Amino acid sequence: MKKLIIPKQIVTVNKLDAILKNHALLIEDDKISGILGKNEIELSAFEGEIYEYPELTLIPGFIQTHIHLCQTLFRGLADDLELLDWLQLKIFPYENAHNQASLKISAQLGINELQLGGTTTILDMGTIRHQEVIFEELINSGMRAFAGKCMVDKNGLMPQFKESTDESLNSSYELAKHYHNKTKKIKYGFAPRFVLSCSERLLRDTHDMLQEFNGSLYHTHSSENRSEIEEVRKMTGKENIEYFNQIGILGNSTVLAHCIHLNELEIGTLKSTGSRVSHCVSSNLKLGSGIANIPQYIQNGISVSLGADGAPCNNNLSIFHEMRLASLIQKPLHGPTSMDAKTTFRLSNIEGAKALNLENEIGSIEVGKQADLVLIDLERPSNPLNDSEEKIYSSIVYSSERIDVKHVMIGGQWVARNGKSLHYDENELLSLGKKELKSLLNRVD
């Protein structure tokens, strides 16, 4: 069935950054098949569904390149701690206590929140066990995602929360075999947690598996916290990025969350290897980790995209908070012109697509691309009232909230209409979530 969307305007994020008024978007199956001038369309003769939104702005679906769906249930249970304490005292014990039911509701809560906020693609890091639950939920919800079980084969912070190297490698391989490209929207993202919880063999052998699964990714954390990089130095005698480079895991299929504490050599190494940085600004502030020099990375041509990280270190999965903070936090350091609204907006769509090597499929509104779309209401008294093009970016990055997202489509299928999920009932999520959290907390060692 064809669909025709006629919005107030289309923010394309194409090569010209065109903003189109008096245009309609034609969708066939999962793809954008035409962008038509209004006078080219004969509505009465159109065979398909017509969606007319004269008040709403059509933008590309948002892309978040670092998420932990498995942690959504733990929101508010790990506040005001720094990274290593946060992991040791709270997050590792909670993740270790997950069963299939608690993991499922955690994923549902996360996906519901992300989709209602206009996020249509994620790169997710799972937990050690029951990864199939997350994949099944991603598939049921219509989300576009890279996901993978979290790999941990040593753990000084919580020794019982780990697997043997072979177990971790073999189960990741089997999951990738089963789920990579299982549907058009699902791909595997291998996910060794971070240097301190992974042996060198685990890190290397995981990277070797990328070759067998074309289009898969390598997803890990790096250089987030000062005590962490101190430990990495003690362990490897190197800075984190230099260590990764030495063992051969960097490249254009590697997405590194955080990358806050880097020296000039490491920045050069990220650039020369084409490695991707996922900037998680709220998480970096809340855990007191630091501020990544994002303007410098962008200036160097390093791929930068955005991610909300997990609910207990944010405590929100809203791309609007990430965009606003990613812009504002740099201004006292680099001046008010740094991280302007348009640059920041692009990190949430086309730059996210590039980070995932999907820039030919998603990240902008262009003919031939997937119909991953958001209709947002910018006609509110709390938005800029001036209708100029540059104010559209300002409106989205500085003034908008998740509640302004009205309709969301992924691959030609609606997942949210009128601010409501088509997959989830929020009352059910809430009551089941409370019940599962209570029993999970009873299972914590």
Binding site for Zn ion (CB under 5 A): 257, 309
Closest residue to Zn ion, judged by C-beta, is: 309
Q: How far is the CB of 313 from Zn ion (least distance, A)?
A: 7
Q: How far is the CB of 305 from Zn ion (least distance, A)?
A: 14
**Helix (H/G/I), strand (E/B), else coil: 83:** helix
Alpha carbon distance, N-terminus to C-terminus of the chain: 52
Q: How far is the CB of 258 from Zn ion (least distance, A)?
A: 8
Q: How far is the CB of 221 from Zn ion (least distance, A)?
A: 6
Q: How far is the CB of 94 from Zn ion (least distance, A)?
A: 14
Nearer to Zn ion, 12 or 220 (CB): 220
A 10 A CB-CB count for 382 gives: 10
Nearer to Zn ion, 60 or 192 (CB): 192
Nearer to Zn ion, 106 or 343 (CB): 106
Which residue do the tokens 């270790």 mark? 96
Nearer to Zn ion, 13 or 257 (CB): 257
Question: CB–CB of 316/109 below 8 Å?
Answer: no
Q: How far is the CB of 370 from Zn ion (least distance, A)?
A: 26
Q: Which residues contact 165 (CB under 8 A, 6 or more apart)?
A: 153, 199, 201, 202, 205
Half-sphere exposure of residue 266, counting CA atoms within 13 Å on the CB side? Answer: 20
Residue 14 tokens, joined: 């194409």
**Helix (H/G/I), strand (E/B), else coil: 6:** strand
Question: CB–CB of 5/25 below 8 Å?
Answer: yes
Nearer to Zn ion, 68 or 207 (CB): 68
Nearer to Zn ion, 26 or 107 (CB): 107
Residue 119 tokens, joined: 């996020």
Nearer to Zn ion, 24 or 138 (CB): 138
Q: How far is the CB of 283 from Zn ion (least distance, A)?
A: 7
Residue 117, Cβ density class (10 Å: 0-12 exposed, 13-18 middle, ≥19 buried) = buried
- Closest C-alpha to 131, from 185, 181, 87, 95: 95
